Amino acid sequence: MTRKRFKAAAAMSALLLLAVSACSQGSTTKQPEAGSSQSAGPAHIKIAYQQWGPGVVMKNFLTGVKAEYESANPGSTVEILPIVASENDYYTKLQLMMRSPNTAPDVVYEDTFLINSDITAGYLRPLDDYIKNWDQWGQFEDTAKGAAKALDGKTYGIPDGTDTRALWYNKQLFAKAGLPADWQPKSWDDVLSAARTIKEKVPGVIPMNVYSGKPMGEASAMQGFEMLLYGTKDTLYNNDQQKWVVGSQGFKDALNFVKTVYSEGLGPSPKQALDPNMGSKVGTELLPGGKLAIALDGSWIYGNWQKTGAKPWPQWTDVLGQTAMPTQDGSGKGKVSLSGGWTWAIPAKSKNPDAAWNLIKTLQTQKNAAKYATDGAQIAVRKDVANDAGYKSSSKSTQFFTDLVSVTVYRPAYAEYPKVSNEIITAMEAVMTGQSSPDDAAKTYDEAVEGIVGKDKTTQGQ
Amino acid sequence: MTTTVAPTSAASAPPGKSAGKSGRPKAAKLFRMLPLSPAIGLMLVFLAGPIIYCLYAAFTNMALTGTGAANVKFVGLDNFRKAFGSGAFTNAIWLTLVFTLISAIIGQNTLGLGLSLLMRRSTKVVRNFVGTAVIGAWVLPEVVAAYLLSAFFNDEGTLNVMLHAVGLPGQDWLYAAPIIAVSLANIWRGTAFSMLVYSAALSEVPKEIEESAEMDGASGYRRLLFVTLPMISRAVMTNLMLITLQTLSVFGLIYAMTRGGPGTKSQTLPLYMYEQAFSFSQIGYGTAIALVMLAIGAVFSLIYLRGLNSEAA
């Protein structure tokens, strides 16, 4: 027998085998047991999430859930779709996929800041009919339930955690600079003077990181800018008047802070800061490497240093301290934090919404929710997870960041917010690179916001 | 975006051969068109289709998210009003013109002409060596070229090392002077094209004419200005038109080197369009900017075409 014929025969038999196994699988599939969770029948479900940098927590979590779902629903398959893209590109790619039934995933991971915009776009399916019969929904905190509720009163996403933001600082570097191990800054000036001390006494390290500029997308807007702005007397949005704030002194002050950090060399070089990988660099290189003294960052970054994380670093609990970001001059509550979070949602053009919902339920069993909250370094949004012993003991910082919930602020995540956010990061980048003065950048922002929401929906700040 | 406007050949066809006089039945003529129909169909679907869609989208609020994604509405000239009222847009236009002027009209054009003039007089070895080096830069894929050049212009890159070696201060080119850096990169990459066009044109110039000019006592510089250049003026115009249109739409090189940054210091129109359409989800606005780019390309083409026609007359 010639090689060629042998190959052909092998290919044929392989094909046959495949077909046979597919048939047998179909015919011998056990009817799903009667009950709520498995009524959808076998289906191929695609689940999309963002994969950027070396993090593997979500990938591992989804791989576990996939196995669990597939063994509970014989015949069904779960396809994990990692969308490899930086912050802004992820949303773009996801939106393009959700536009067509041919490419729409069945379950998508949506940031709460964007979800209202995507709901307005008609990309997502309301989940109320499913939630109605779901016994777990009562476990969710009310604020979390509201995270993915649209103006039409319907809920479009199931939150899997929230977060708060504060200052992380390296106690070893602080000791070298003669700064206290129990650092409690009371105002922006305290923060800046600590950074100046580091710069002077510990050369070779970056004194402070404040995310800034377009490449870091929403991280710049939220961890960077809004953590500053909400410490002034101004905000982005006036809830009483239901209008966007323009022309505020707080906006200029926040930009001035950014300018000070980058022009005095208290931060990374603007070029470093404009690297789209800056987020994972801070978590996996700069902080663990002792190259960064103060980081204005999220509650979740210790997820990088756990055994399951991208850069296991057990010593972090001793090396790093956490302290709340102070308000501009210590007034108000004295400290500030912002909260966001992500949700699981079902695109309107998904072909298997019922199966997708079953997958979300599997993602959100108490066990899986607790696992993700622990590995993903989330702040729990479920009461049963918040009381879970494993979760509570998972990290030394959990309690600190959970306590910040009492001062935390949510973004005005209306449909226009993503556009406004883009203008914020454009203004930041103009200021940090020295292209515009804070006043000019604020003026450009004001004009842009008036263009986005309409002049009648804006109000003057203080 | 391809905006190459080819000079129409129909105008120059002899009048006697124009269609319609032969008296053949119409059916036969249609039948002769039949083999062309697949090509025409493909052109309509894949070339005219997107252009018409782009024309439509530019006058709408089409977006990837938010209201513009759910119900696309006509907004008239709003996108254009927004563009011309926006500092970022004027900045992008300005940078595009600077980029085109420095890198195409001055850089690639004169360097290409200079190289081809020098190569005409040089030995075969030198000619082959220079030709290979210059064309090598052109053959490289855009992203590879961009990567090489960002390594070259980097803070610790080759250029600064060389400058330091001769005692000159360096600077972070991609950060301090990004538009200059990308312009130089584009010259490096695109000179080969101009050089090839001019080499071809110069080889058509009869040696006798230059020799007789030399006999008449014309210096080298005068021979170039009054004899050689006028004889290749059509090639000059064609080359200028092609490289201008190519350079107006350069995207990959700049994106890979600076992403239009820092800030907006190297954000030419194609990069601004990409940012608005795909980073900031404003498809309608992005396509409106594309139309403006098309218009700028058309203006340049018209100028050059006029130049070509007046030469021909």
Residue B239, number of CB atoms within 10 A of its CB: 24
Mean pLDDT value of segment B70-99 = 90
Residue A188 near residue A230, CB atoms below 8 Å: no
Angle between helices B178-203 and B87-99 (to 10 degrees): 40
Q: Has residue A15 got a pLDDT over 70? A: no
Structure tokens at A436: 């515009």
Q: What is the DSSP letter of B32?
A: H
In b/e form, how buried is each residue of B79-88, taking b as 16+ CB within 10 angstroms?
bbebbeebeb
Residue A14: per-residue pLDDT: 47
Give the confidence band of B247 by pLDDT, cuts at 50, 70, 90.
very high
Contact B66 A271 (CB under 8 A): no
Look at residue A27 in the predicted model and tell me its pLDDT.
Answer: 36
Find, in chain A, the residue whose alpha carbon is nearest to that of B88.
Answer: A444
Q: Report chain A residues whose CB lies below 8 A from the CB of B282.
A: 419
Determine, yes or no, domain membership for B308: yes
Q: How far apart are CA A2 and CA B198, in angstroms?
A: 58
How high is the mean pLDDT of chain A? 87
Q: What is the CA radius of gyration of chain A?
A: 24
Q: State the span(s) of chain A assigned CATH 3.40.190.10.
A: 44-163+340-408, 165-339+409-460
- Hey, which of A41-50, A149-158, A255-264 has the most confident mean pLDDT? A255-264
Among A63-72, A171-180, A424-433, B25-34, the minimum mean pLDDT is found in: B25-34
From B96's Cα to the closest Cα of chain A, the distance in A is 18
Q: In what order do the strands lie in the sheet with A320-323?
A: A206-209, A292-298, A165-170, A320-323
**Within a domain: B35:** no
Residue B143 domain boundaries: 79-312
Interface contact A418-B66, CB threshold 8 A: yes
Taking only the tens place, the pLDDT of each residue in A199-254 is 999 999 999 999 999 988 899 999 999 999 999 999 999 988 889 999 999 999 99
- Report the pLDDT value the prediction gives residue A32, as an integer from 0 to 100: 38
Has residue B41 been placed in a domain? no
A405 or B246, greater pLDDT: B246
In single-letter form, the type of residue at position A409 comes to V
**Model pLDDT, residue A332:** 86
CB atoms within 10 A of CB B236: 21
Q: What is the pLDDT of residues A112-162, one digit of tens each?
A: 888 888 998 999 999 999 999 999 999 998 888 887 888 888 999 999 989
Residue B7 has pLDDT above 60, yes or no: no
In chain B, what residues touch A444 (CB-CB under 8 Å)? 87
CATH of A44-163+340-408, one of 3.40.50.1820, 3.40.50.720, 3.50.30.30, 3.40.190.10: 3.40.190.10
Helix, strand, coil proportions of chain B in percent (round to 5)?
75, 0, 25
Percent of chain B's residues with pLDDT above 90: 39
Asked if pLDDT for residue B259 goes beyond 90, the answer is no
The CA distance from B313 to the nearest CA of chain A, in Å, is 49
In this structure, the dihedral spanned by the alpha carbons of residues B122, B126, B128 and B134, taken in order and rounded to 10 degrees, is: -100
Give the number of C-alpha atoms closer than 13 A to the C-alpha of residue A340, restricted to the C-beta side. Answer: 22
User: What does each C-alpha distance from A438 to A248, A424, B263 come to in angstroms?
Assistant: 12, 12, 13
Residue B267's pLDDT band (cuts 50, 70, 90) = very high
pLDDT at B175 > cutoff 50: yes
* Cα distance between residue A426 and residue A433, in whole Å: 11
Residues 197-216 of A with CB under 8 A from B: 213-215
- Tally of structural domains, chain B: 1
Cβ-defined contact of B64 to A95 (cutoff 8 Å)? yes
pLDDT of the residue at B313: 53
> Taking CB atoms and an 8 Å limit, are B82 and A422 in contact across chains?
no
Residue B262: asked if its preceding bond is cis (omega within 30°), the reply is yes
Residue B5 in any domain: the answer is no
User: What is the per-residue pLDDT across A367-408, written as a single tens digit (0 to 9) for each?
Assistant: 999 999 888 888 888 988 988 888 888 777 888 888 888 888
Q: What count of Cα atoms within 13 Å lies in the side-chain half-sphere of residue A129?
A: 6
Q: What's the distance, CA A174 to chain centroid?
A: 29
- CB-CB under 8 Å, B280 with A419: yes
Domain CATH code at residue B217: 1.10.3720.10
Would you state the structure tokens that stand for residue A301, as one six-digit string?
């970054």
* B176-222 pLDDT tens trace: 889 999 999 999 999 999 999 999 999 888 888 888 888 888 888 88
CATH number given to A165-339+409-460: 3.40.190.10
Given pLDDT bands bounded at 50, 70 and 90, which one contains residue A170? Answer: very high
Predicted confidence at residue A26, as pLDDT, reads: 37
